[in-house]
Amino acid sequence: MDGTEPRAAFVMSHAELMTEDASLARIRALCGGEEVEEAGLCSVVPKLESLIGNLLQAAGITRLQAVRPAASSFFPTEYRSMDTLGADRYCGVLAARERYGAPVIVVDCGTATTINVVDARGVFLGGAIAPGVETALRALHERTAQLPFAEISKKDVPLIGGDTGESLRSGALHFNRYALEGMVAEMKKHIGDKTPLILTGGNAPVLLAAGLRCAPQVFDAELLFRGIIFHLLFRG
C-alpha cells in the first residue's frame, strides 16, 4: 500500500501458502523489487501467523506488527470482550470510522457475516455474528442426510428455487440478505436512520447482486487492508 491506499493484492489458498518457494515468490513479486519498510498482519488463524511471519522475513520485511485488538485512545469501545474480538472486525471498524466517519455500520460478508456498529461519538459498541452464505450451505450439507453441497452462484439466484440446488442457494443467500436488511434497520433505530452501511468481504458482491439494499451503502473491497494501515499509523 501507499499511505492508506491499496496498490496491489493477491489471494492465496492455504495449500499454496504451505508451499514456501511459491508463496515467497508471490510476496516478492507483489513488492515489485522495492524495499518494504513494514508489514501488518491481520490474522484470525493463529497457527499460520508464525509461517507468514517467516515468509515476510525471508522476503526482506523485518518490521512486522500483528494486529491485536484492544481499547485505546484511537479505538474507544464499550465492547466487553476485546480479547476475543476478531482482528478482521477490528480493522474493518477502524478503517470505516476513519474513512467514512461516525456513526457507521460495517458488514463483513465472509465465512461469517458480521455486523459492527460505531456510534456518533466514534465508539465501537459491538454487533452481531452469523453464519456466512457459504458456511450455511456447507452446514446444511454436513448436518443433513440427503442435502447436497451447493456452491453459491455468482449469477441471479431466484427467490423460489426450482430444484434442490436452487432452493439451497435461495435459502442461504436470501435469508442472509433479508436478515441483514432487518438487522441493519433495527440497529439504525439506535444510532440514526441516516447511518451509512459499509460492506466488505468476498460474499458482499453476491449479496448486492441478490438485491441487498441498506441505503446509504458503500462497497469497499479493501476495507480490511485500510484498517491494518490505520492501526500501524496510530500505534506508531
Residue ranges of alpha helices (H) inside the chain are 14-17, 20-31, 49-58, 87-100, 133-143, 164-191, 204-209, 223-235
Between CA 151 and CA 143 the distance in angstroms is 16
Three-state DSSP state, 5: strand
| Cell numbers standing for residue 131 | 453464519
- Residue pair 98/230 in contact (Cβ under 8 Å)? The answer is yes
C-alpha 22/C-alpha 29 separation (Å) is 11
Residue 118, CA atoms < 13 Å, CB-side half-sphere: 28
The residues that are catalytic are 88
